[in-house]
Structure 1
């Protein structure tokens, strides 16, 4: 049987389903619907949906078939008029039967040889599955005992790369993931970033930032959707999940959803944290890629996304939101073609908007990542490990969870100094050298004119006295050599306690997302709030209007501990 393409829409009184069944016979349709169940059959097409709300057969239903387009349209009445059905664009979740959606025993946990101890989802109690499939016990070999470290979505995979070692180096930076502990992964990642950081490349992008400015002006699709959502607050209050209707899927994206196999995931509390935090990390990398390519992906797009994400390139398991931002900021300044801190903050703002738009926006981004990876060999392996599962899992996530995650991300701050790459000191030294060169160039031109006038009056006597050669050597100071930068940097830092920076500080009070998952404690005091959180969207609009003055104003307000207005 073939699962046809379909779309659902609704109004206050009814639900409409449009099913594309080309080349089917008009007289051989069979339709059944009652309560949450909807079934459609037209050989060779079969469609079974579990609806998010109840429908009823009351004689007011009607259907039609467009022969030219091959689309069957059926309109059915809602059992409770005025009820809003949530998640009508979550096609993979709708295809699951009611029993599969509600009964956790029918669970497919791929790539894992053991069932997690805590089989709770959203803190709900589960009954033990007495019919779970059993396998004969096999003694583990020494190699198996050394490869018990997990990775992938929810850390549910292990042993995947035992036979893919050759392809591994082209996909991720981590070597031997099956035998590398999470602590070793993080240590190796940080060491690799520090060795990769190039001060010359960073300063080149810092001073020659014309291309960066163009990227910052680009408006991706979620910016428009977010503006529409914010422009109609009255309408949003009337709907339980308003953000779902700000984003729509293309036909290609709908086909992608139909190809996924519906699954349920047994994730304990810690694994759920890892999944949510990994989602932030992946979205940050994707937002950077979309901005620097202005929405047109190219052959470098798979490399950019997986390289900027510590989750995808090092199989990192994050403990709080702040360390995700630090890792992303470091990787942006170490690896891609364009390395500028403003691109970090812009991707940060974009990720917040996507999360606030809800499941549809997040799913749309994940589908695009899935497509980018699927068309690249061997990046498709990351789809099997992460992205496909994220596409299925996100369809069942409550939008309140994403809203809470977005709020925490919005109130978490990151500065250049927290990246551990001495960015502030590097910029300060470079600006100091630039300032001294400017000061030397001004008197040089003036004194050159004075010398020229003396020469004209004395008939060249000044040159015979050696004035010209001495003045020229003393006044025309050339650019400082790289070896002199360290001394200039040290002198500057001794005189100026506050380094020059163009970063915005966003603060957060400890909550469920900022607690260290490994220790269940709030993050360290170095990440604690120092000022009330600014309005991020308002600051962003001001920065787009007048980037320099608005940025200086916001930084000054943060330094003074005030709230921007």
Structure 2
């Protein structure tokens, strides 16, 4: 079956679905409405849309097919007149399958039992008599079982498979088996990309950043920053709250090509997805600002280098996370550690290396998050398009960006995105957290520039 091109709109009383299905017979169309789900089948097209609220077929509903344009227009009545249906332009959310029913514990029926209550009591008594406590446990029992405990070593985790997983929700493996035989310049794990565990990936990533860090490059960009200041002062029209966010036809087609997936995750995994999203949006903000919103042939390389989950398969959290009683609460410490990794990479790999530029990118990310998932969706689709057109780096679109494009529409929360954006806007990343004595290097650069200036003045005299 083919998923047709479609769009949805609404009035105070109705929801209108406009479906492009040329060269079909209107008499063959099958339309079914079940609460909030609209199903349309007209060979060879099939479409199932899940609306946020229920709709009904009544006397005011209609279905009209225009053979000249090829569009089937279905008008359904809202169950609650005047109710606003959000996100009708986020097509992946409309196409997402309905959430699975919560799993219930299976009931158990005892068919036969040959044990009596007296037998059970005797067995328990026998087992209790067989128990013995050594001195340590006896002492612990007297002290309220205050046993010494230690955090288990993650490296010692028992594994039943030699495979290592990575990517969105750790759902992928085998994509880098022959990485060294490709022109993957940003792969920091080499032949071991499929063998490294999470701890080894992080260790190698940090070592690679320290190795590639170039003090002279940083000082040169700090001393002569005229062009960097132009990049910093560039105005991104998307981040203006008055700007209208319109999903283009190309973006709608890109949404239709996304896979139909349902994600099952716990609160910890969901928490980490939002942190990973920050690293993706930071890389996008850097490339968008340094190319003045005109991606180049180097954009894919730049973006992949700036995203540690790509180059080292090392996603956040980069500091210990303690989930509080408030769902999806983000502390300044974990947001700072996430940004520090992005800052370090933006000061190490791309052409323009400036802490002030890094701060400007943080502000861009904060503004994008505050605008919600519509703008984030547009930016993720831009990232996907850049990576999909690269001969090698398309793999990162497959294992990360594609699923983010689906999840951000159907699973992410605007309220959470706005809250993260507000926190990122108020956050200040200290230079000392980067680990490369940036303050001292900048002071030394200013001293050298002032000394050269004084020398030039004396020579003129």
TM-score bracket, normalised by the shorter chain, equals: 0.7 to 0.9
User: What is the aligned partner in structure 2 of residue 503 from structure 1?
Assistant: none
C-alpha contact (below 8 Å) 1:34/1:57 kept by paired residues: no
User: What is the aligned partner in structure 2 of residue 377 from structure 1?
Assistant: 391
Alignment equivalent of 1:387, drawn from 376, 392, 401? 401
- Cα distance change of structure 1 residues 129 and 194 upon mapping to structure 2, 3 Å threshold: farther
User: What is the aligned partner in structure 2 of residue 449 from structure 1?
Assistant: none
Q: Deviations over 1:188-210 (max 9, x none)?
A: 22221122122222223223223
C-alpha contact (below 8 Å) 2:19/2:71 kept by paired residues: yes
Q: How does 1:115-514 map to 2 (within 5 A)?
A: 126-127=103-104, 147-167=162-182, 169-175=184-190, 176-224=192-240, 226-228=241-243, 246-319=244-317, 320-395=334-409, 396-446=411-461
TM score, norm. by length of structure 1:
0.65
CA RMSD between the two structures = 2.4
C-alpha contact (below 8 Å) 2:184/2:393 kept by paired residues: no
Gaps of 5+ in 2: 108-158, 318-333
Distance apart, 1:71 and its partner CA = 2.4
Take 1:276 and 1:198, find their aligned partners in 2: how far apart are those partners? 31
User: What is the aligned partner in structure 1 of residue 124 from structure 2?
Assistant: none
Gaps of 5+ in 1: 105-125, 131-143, 229-245, 447-565
- Cα distance change of structure 1 residues 349 and 60 upon mapping to structure 2, 3 Å threshold: same
Take 2:106 and 2:211, find their aligned partners in 1: how far apart are those partners? 50
Q: Deviations over 1:54-106 (max 9, x none)?
A: 112231234544444322223322110121112222322322444xx2336xx
Higher RCO by CA contacts (8 Å cutoff, separation 6 or greater)? 2
Take 2:106 and 2:440, find their aligned partners in 1: how far apart are those partners? 59
Q: How does 1:61-76 map to 2 (within 5 A)?
A: 61-76=61-76
- Cα distance change of structure 1 residues 375 and 43 upon mapping to structure 2, 3 Å threshold: same
Take 1:171 and 1:194, find their aligned partners in 2: how far apart are those partners? 15
Q: Secondary structure at the match of 1:32?
A: strand
Take 1:34 and 1:147, find their aligned partners in 2: how far apart are those partners? 46
Q: Secondary structure at the match of 1:46?
A: strand
C-alpha contact (below 8 Å) 2:53/2:85 kept by paired residues: yes
Distance apart, 1:267 and its partner CA = 2.3
Distance apart, 1:387 and its partner CA = 1.0
Distance apart, 1:26 and its partner CA = 4.6
Take 1:411 and 1:155, find their aligned partners in 2: how far apart are those partners? 31
Distance apart, 1:352 and its partner CA = 1.1
User: What is the aligned partner in structure 1 of residue 52 from structure 2?
Assistant: 52
C-alpha contact (below 8 Å) 1:172/1:306 kept by paired residues: no
User: What is the aligned partner in structure 1 of residue 101 from structure 2?
Assistant: 103
Take 2:176 and 2:455, find their aligned partners in 1: how far apart are those partners? 59
TM score, norm. by length of structure 2:
0.78
Distance apart, 1:309 and its partner CA = 0.9
- Cα distance change of structure 1 residues 181 and 25 upon mapping to structure 2, 3 Å threshold: same
- Cα distance change of structure 1 residues 72 and 348 upon mapping to structure 2, 3 Å threshold: same
- Cα distance change of structure 1 residues 412 and 434 upon mapping to structure 2, 3 Å threshold: same
Distance apart, 1:28 and its partner CA = 4.2
Take 1:263 and 1:85, find their aligned partners in 2: how far apart are those partners? 22
Distance apart, 1:297 and its partner CA = 1.5
Take 1:187 and 1:333, find their aligned partners in 2: how far apart are those partners? 19
Distance apart, 1:22 and its partner CA = 2.4
Q: Deviations over 1:172-223 (max 9, x none)?
A: 2223133223222222222211221222222232232232233223333421
Take 1:220 and 1:199, find their aligned partners in 2: how far apart are those partners? 30
Q: Deviations over 1:352-383 (max 9, x none)?
A: 11111112211111111111111111111112
Distance apart, 1:330 and its partner CA = 1.1
C-alpha contact (below 8 Å) 1:93/1:262 kept by paired residues: no
C-alpha contact (below 8 Å) 1:370/1:388 kept by paired residues: yes
- Cα distance change of structure 1 residues 260 and 128 upon mapping to structure 2, 3 Å threshold: farther
Q: Secondary structure at the match of 2:176?
A: helix
C-alpha contact (below 8 Å) 2:223/2:446 kept by paired residues: no
